[in-house]
């Protein structure tokens, strides 16, 4: 799927996972500066951030490409897990009922060299469209602090901050939601 400006979106594959894990860690470290301490960022990388292989298998985790470079990644899910990659213990694989539950917007990360170029917008638009096509009327997500302004600008509402204990390090996140139609 072409998004203009040389940006192409495609479904992530299992072969992409090592590169995506590297991108996610680099994105968290670079874009979290000023929002999280180094200890908070490293705790989030160690315990929460990362690829959820179920989304890759479901075909709902996307990779944004600019030429041969991965510029970002993000997805949506019809599964119960709100956030967290494979190493996060709080995952739940159950399938949601689109008539009564919100689709999940998951694991959005942009490579530091590609910030402010529409990568996250393209990913979010594609994910929301896919969720709506699957019958979901709303979405929800767990935003990182640097992600909150982006999601607010795209019509999400905050549910207030929450604190997660990640290996003994408390880290703040912001649950958010949006009505699609």
Q: What is the pLDDT of residues 50-104, one digit of tens each?
A: 999 999 999 999 999 999 999 999 999 998 887 777 676 666 678 888 999 999 9
pLDDT recorded at residue 119: 97
Task: State pTM to two decimals.
Answer: 0.93
Mode of pairing for the β-strands spanning 103-110 and 138-143: parallel
CATH superfamily, domain at 2-179: Gcn5-related N-acetyltransferase (GNAT) (3.40.630.30)
Q: How far apart are the two ends of the chain, measured CA to CA in Å?
A: 23
pLDDT at 149: 97
Residue 95: its pLDDT value, please? 86
pLDDT in tens, 100-123: 999 999 999 999 999 999 999 999
Q: What is the per-residue pLDDT for 94?
A: 81
């Amino acid at each position: 799927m072409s998004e203009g400006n040389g940006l192409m979106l495609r479904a992530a594959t299992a072969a992409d996972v090592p590169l995506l894990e590297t991108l996610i860690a680099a994105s968290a470290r670079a874009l979290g500066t000023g929002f999280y301490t180094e200890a908070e960022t490293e705790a989030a990388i160690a315990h929460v951030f990362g690829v959820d292989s179920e989304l890759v298998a479901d075909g709902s985790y996307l990779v944004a490409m600019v030429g041969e470079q991965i510029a970002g990644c993000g997805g949506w899910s019809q599964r119960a897990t709100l956030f967290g990659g494979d190493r996060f213990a709080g995952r739940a694989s159950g399938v949601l009922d689109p008539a009564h539950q919100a689709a999940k917007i998951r694991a959005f990360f942009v490579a530091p060299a590609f910030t402010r170029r529409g990568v996250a917008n393209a990913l979010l638009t594609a994910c929301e469209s896919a969720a709506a096509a699957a019958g979901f009327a709303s979405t929800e997500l767990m935003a990182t602090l640097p992600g909150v302004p982006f999601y607010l600008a795209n019509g999400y509402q905050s549910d207030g901050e929450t604190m997660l204990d990640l290996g003994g390090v408390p880290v703040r996140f912001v649950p958010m939601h949006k009505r699609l139609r």
